[in-house]
Amino acid sequence: MAISLVTLDNFAQELPSWRSDGGESYRYAVVDIGSNGIRFSVTDLAPPTARLLPPLYADRAAISIFDALKPADGGFTLPASAITAVASAVARFRQIADLFAVPTAHIIVLATEGVRRAANASDLLEAIAPLTVRVLDPAVETLFGAVMGSRSSFVDVRRGGLFLDLGGGSVQMTWVDTSAPDYATAAASAGESLPYGAARLIRILEDEPLHVQDAAILDLRSGFRRVYAELCAKFPALKDLGADRAGGHPVDLYLCGGGFRGYGSMLMFRDDAISPYPISSVNTYSAPCSLFSRVAEMKHVNVKHDGPIFGLSKRRRSQFPAVAAVVEALIAVVPNIGRATFCGGSNRQGVLMMMLPPRVREADPLRVLSAISSSEAPFFEASERLLSAALPSDVATSATPTVLSLGLGPLLIRDSWRRAGFGADTNSVFALHDSIVRDSDCPGLTHLARAVLGLSLCARWGRGFGPADDHLFRGLRAVADSHDKAASFWALYLGAVTAIIAAVFPVMPEEETALSSAIRFKADKVPQEHKDKKVKIVLSVGLAPAYAKDIKAVVDDFESTMNKKGDKFALQVVAEVVPF
């Protein structure tokens, strides 16, 4: 059986179609025969939630194509036992897809670096028949994995970032800026794959003499240096960021693939500033360069720590020296690194994203998650304007992440009335815990977004919780403040402001004009004479006469939420009632 590569020129014709009217079915199954393992998932792409890539099932077969490859006649072949194991795993996944009523035409089998390297890959394809195996050209592997698989987890990447995918056989690097036209194929065309995946590199580091190891590391670094220089030539924005000529903005990294995710799990385990780290999944975990670059320390921990490290399997720990070598090479080449964000997306998510039409693919996943109907939209827009008015003007226009700037306003607004039948303290605790488990791996709900939303909803209910939940509260504050030292304060502040709105309207209003005719906010920063010279936040609350009853209690609750004793992070906040 001849092998035909899926390329940037033909991938659209090679993929199943997605139709907004459903056609045969909205369910799709993807098998990714990677170098380090075979992953399988079933996804429901039904409108209106297709952009969220809602998973129905996921599994993995621990079969390493790369480890199975055997030298033969100057190349590599897959032994019959490996072909049988892979075919058996794919057959089992096919049976599961049938149980989920996935049409045969919607079962997508992908193969990457390991299969491309096998001289007898056609034997594997014949063993898997009648299912068609789509062997990905390196550029398409970059498109599905490093670009769209990673990008699927985020609302956008409008300032651009270096995207890398570390698999078992290779590592890809490219530049992605979602504000650019045709950014996906442009990034895939510009990207390049280097033959130093975790499985391949660890074999060199463990089995080859020292001079061969040194040569491989030098080749890896020179490869990164060459690819980075070529990307800078093609994308001037990257060159400016690297040279620190972009208004103080650094080069941000987005890292996917099992090797990089393992490194992210190690960083979460060793993050001294956030310990214990409150969110388990490494997907969308973000580390500053100061932590990301502590490679020697992470290698030491991998060797010396006897117990388990969450997110790092025995196989991943055995490959950690190779992953660390890739990270060191990356740091040595890329200047002015800002943050490194670890992505859960892969070829499976990327191929589904590329099947969706642009209007669906580029939709804001947080808006999709909020499920705002057309009749609700005017009220939600008015609510966000009201919350924005409660921020001092310099904060509203700053880079400080808030529920509003992160696109979380609709979720905060809807959830502010969702549990009104339960006690305030119960809801405060619920908000903290719900923030780290709700809508698992949902695009747009990054670690930062989860922390900010959880803190805001906790404050909406008065911020009451016991000692057992204090660790989680402090952990979420630390996650938010690792991005901006004031992020957690403004998260709590806007949650407390939302409580004022909910006190005025015990039931969520349906009319847009309900808010503007009842309540107004204005916030100012007032200098204080104290030795710490912190400013004081004064929130002016204007209420229409019909809603002004018991306003003192509402104001007292707001100040109590914001001025907790012993809160060393907080600015003093006061509220005053002014004429409407």
Q: What is the DSSP letter of 312?
A: B
pTM score over 0.75: yes
Angstrom distance (rounded) from CA 185 to CA 18: 19
User: Quick check: helix, strand or coil at residue 17?
Assistant: coil
23's CB contacts (< 8 A; 6+ apart) are: 17
Pairing of strands 133-136, 161-166: unpaired
Q: Report CA torsion sign: 245, 247, 248, 249.
A: negative
CB atoms within 10 A of CB 323: 29
| Whole-angstrom distance, CA of residue 244 vs CA of residue 534 | 31
- From first to last of its 580 residues, what are the pLDDT tens digits of the chain? 557 789 999 999 999 989 887 667 999 999 999 988 999 999 999 999 999 999 999 999 999 998 899 988 878 999 999 999 999 999 999 999 999 999 999 999 999 988 998 999 999 999 999 999 999 999 999 999 999 999 999 999 988 999 999 988 899 999 999 999 999 999 999 999 999 999 999 999 999 999 999 999 999 999 999 999 999 999 999 999 988 766 678 999 999 999 999 999 999 999 888 999 999 999 999 999 999 999 999 999 999 999 999 999 999 999 999 999 999 999 999 999 999 999 998 999 999 999 999 999 999 999 999 999 999 999 999 999 999 999 999 998 888 999 999 999 999 999 999 999 999 999 999 999 999 999 999 999 999 999 999 999 999 999 999 999 999 999 999 999 999 999 999 999 999 999 999 999 999 998 889 999 999 999 999 987 765 657 899 999 999 988 887 788 889 999 999 988 767 667 889 999 888 8
The enclosing H or E element of 108 equals strand 107-111
Q: What is the DSSP string of 509-521?
A: ---THHHHTTEEE
Query: Which amino acid makes up residue 215?
Result: A
Cβ atoms 242, 336 nearer than 8 A: yes
Rounded Cα distance between 225 and 231, Å, is 10
Three-state DSSP state, 68:
helix
Where do the domains of the chain lie, and which CATH numbers do they carry? 5-137 (3.30.420.40), 153-344 (3.30.420.150), 365-578 (1.10.3210)
Q: Which residue has the tokens 């195996």?
A: 133
- Note whether 370 and 411 are within 8 A (CB): yes
